[in-house]
A and B are shown apart, each in its own frame.
Chain A
Amino acid sequence: MFGNLGQAGKYLGQAARMLVGVPDYDTYVQHMQDNHPGKPVMTYKEFFRERQEARYSGSGKGGMRCC
């Protein structure tokens, strides 16, 4: 956990995004180029929405839904 001391930002938002379960967009684009060339690649906005939806909406598992 304390492996990158001194490199972390002071604000949580500047720390690694992977940790909140939203994979890095660049990694996704690279994955699409490597494994699915020729298939449409989501824009950052589409990717972010898709990931957020996959994580928080739908089944209501994990206590994330409130209504």
Chain B
Amino acid sequence: MKPIAVTILTGFLGAGKTTLLRHILNENHGYKIAVIENEFGEVPIDNTLIGDRASRITTLSNGCICCSRSNELADALLDLLDAVDQGQLEFDRLIIECTGMADPGPIIQTFFSHAIICERFLLDGIITLVDAVHAEQQLNQFTISQAQVGYADRILLTKTDIAPDNATLLHRLQLMNARAPIYNVTHGDIDLSLLFDIEGFVLNDRLNITTPPSLFRRIPQPQNNIQSIVVYHIPPLELIQISEVMEDLLLKFADNLLRYKGILSIKDEPRRLLFQGVQRLYNADWDREWLPADKRKSTMVFIGIDLPEEEIRGAFTALGDTFVH
């Protein structure tokens, strides 16, 4: 049975999640989409804004899904599966719209920690919307809005029609998350192929590193709790050594790590080694052989909260020629 692809929409209050969701549901894409939305407040209003194009809209209202005591999200997911199994409901994609203040971490982990949910759903990606008008202020004030950026597989910059000059913000977002491509979107209008089937949690060999664009003027660096550290290592690594380094980093800093990914060049091994993880959960496997056209080197990116940059840098420097940015 093919697992149901799940997309999580996150982003701070007012970033445009509902507008995007409405656009997705109204597009002529042929998917049958179910929606779980989380309305923070007593009277859910968003499902009236979304319209009636979804296969089912489940509204969770008992607190945010990321911290609800009653584990509403897992229950809602299991209920959806029950309805499918009983032939009452048919859908092939699920979108979860988080509240603006939600931490994506526990929501993501729900998909990896329950046997049935793990088997029947496949978490495809985290889409984070960022409001170009208010983002700087929100990022300065709320670590949660930074975490939403850190977890992202795709970042959508909204309201760029009102705030077209956002080079500084782009620079900041790329410092926080060097993995996620950033796309402009106005009024929710975006090509859905950029949002679906991105395989954010499948071990694959795509590792795009975005380097912040150079700025015309020197600006003070904003204080980000969330940041990316990208490490390149040229000589092939000893498997046992890099394994120990990664294990040690995870033991010490797993609580700080949101996402991490690497494509490694291993000594005496013609194949590439891929690994990726979210918090404590990781996966690693051999990939195809390095090709003559490939620039053989190891590339790793860590995204996390208050990452101990010196310690990470030091651990890799001890393995030989390394540079970090």
Within residues 232 to 266 of chain B, which ones have a CB less than 8 A from any CB in chain A? 239, 242-244, 246-247, 250, 255
* Closest residue on chain B to residue A49 by CB atoms: B71
**A64 in complex: contacting residue of B67, B74, B101, B201, CB < 8 Å:** B67
Bound-state CA distance A16–B276 (Å) is: 14
A10–B285 alpha-carbon span in the complex (Å): 8
6 examples of A-B residue contacts, CB within 8 angstroms: A1-B250, A10-B202, A16-B281, A53-B71, A63-B305, A66-B99
Interface of B is mostly: mixed
User: Beyond the given A10-B285, A64-B66, could you list 18 further A-B residue pairs with CB under 8 A, ordered by the A residue number?
Assistant: A1-B282, A1-B284, A2-B275, A10-B203, A11-B202, A12-B276, A13-B119, A20-B109, A20-B279, A49-B74, A52-B110, A55-B106, A57-B67, A63-B103, A64-B67, A66-B102, A66-B103, A66-B144
Q: Which of B69, B123, B143, B276 has the most CB of A within 10 A?
A: B69
Asked whether B247 lies within 8 Å of A1 as measured between CB atoms, the reply is: yes
Assess the A5–B144 pair: CB atoms within 8 A.
no
**Are B118's CB and A2's CB within 8 A?**
no
Whether A14 sits at the interface, judged by CB under 8 Å, is yes
A66 with B66: CB separation less than 8 A: yes
Say whether A13 contacts B122, CB under 8 Å. yes
Tell me how far the C-beta of A49 lies from the nearest C-beta in chain B, rounded to whole angstroms: 5
Inter-chain contact A48/B69, CB cutoff 8 Å: no
- Contact yes or no, B243 A3, CB < 8 A: yes
Across the two chains, which residue of chain A brings its CB closest to B271? A5
Roughly how many angstroms separate A8 CA and B277 CA in the complex, as a whole number?
Answer: 12
0/1 interface trace, chain B 296-322, chain A, CB 8 Å (1 if under) = 000000000100000000000000000
A22–B262 Cα gap in the complex (Å)?
25
A contact residues around B147 at 8 Å (CB): 63
CA of A22 to CA of B71, assembled, Å:
14
Closest 3 CB pairs of A and B: A13-B118, A22-B113, A65-B67
Report if A9 contacts B (CB, 8 A): yes
**0 or 1 for each of B48-74: is its CB under 8 Å from A? (1 = yes):** 000000000000000110111101001
Q: Does A17 make an interface contact (CB < 8 A)?
A: yes
Binary contact readout B199-213 vs A (1 if CB under 8 angstroms, 0 otherwise): 001111000000000
Residues of chain A within 8 A of B66, CB atoms compared: 56, 64-66
Q: Is B290 an interface residue (CB 8 A)?
A: no
Residues of B within 8 Å of A, CB-based: how many?
A: 55
Are B113 and A17 in contact, with the CB atoms below 8 A?
Answer: yes
Contact B243 A2 (CB under 8 A): yes
Complex contacts, A1 vs chain B, CB 8 Å = 243-244, 246-247, 250, 275, 282, 284
- Supposing A20-B109, A52-B113, A66-B101 touch, asked if A8 and B74 sit within 8 A by C-beta, the answer is no
B151 at interface, CB cutoff 8 A:
no
Complex contact A67–B277 (CB within 8 A): no
In the complex, what's the smallest C-beta–C-beta distance from B190 to chain A, in angstroms?
26
- Residue of A13, A49, A63, A67 near B64 (CB, 8 A) is A67
Contact indicator B74/A2 (Cβ below 8 Å): no
Determine if A21 is an interface residue (Cβ-Cβ < 8 Å): yes
* Docked complex: A38-67 residues within 8 A CB-CB of B: 44, 48-49, 52-53, 55-58, 62-67
Q: Which chain A residues lie closer than 8 Å to B242 at the CB level? A: 2
Question: Is the CB–CB distance between B285 and A5 below 8 Å?
Answer: yes
Chain A residues with CB below 8 A from B273, complex form: 2, 5
**A12 contacts which of B71, B244, B250, B282 (Cβ < 8 Å)?**
B282
Chain B contacts for A44, CB-based, 8 A: 115
